[in-house]
Amino acid sequence: MSVFVVQESIHADHVSRHETRDDAIAAIEEMIREGLAERGEFNIREIDDAGKTVRVFGVPDSAAPAKTEVA
């Protein structure tokens, strides 16, 4: 079973650990909503059972909040 670690994009400092990809994405989105982070500041590292990195990815653009235009 893989685990998903939220980390800083630049330094890869560990922020939090999650059991699912969706939980990791939700953690980043919450930080963005609360003004604690900017989009792209954090990414997610997927780690396998052996502790090896499977991949590193960012929050998908589809998860970005919808922009509204002011007339």
| pTM for the predicted model, two decimal places | 0.76
Residue 54 lies in a domain: yes
Q: Are 46 and 53 in contact (CB under 8 A)?
A: yes
Counting other chains too, the contacts that 48-56 makes at CB distance below 8 Å and 24 or more residues apart are 48/2, 49/1, 49/2, 54/2
How many separate domains does the chain show?
Answer: 1
- Between 64 and 27, whose confidence is greater? 27
Average confidence (pLDDT) over 38-50: 93
Query: Would the pLDDT of 66 be above 70?
Result: no
Name residues whose C-beta falls within 8 Å of residue 21's C-beta, 6 or more positions apart in sequence. Answer: 4, 44, 46
Percent of the chain with pLDDT over 90: 63
Distance CA 70, CA 19 (A): 39
The answer to the question of residue 30 being in a domain is yes
pLDDT of res. 22:
94
Range of the domain at 13: 3-60
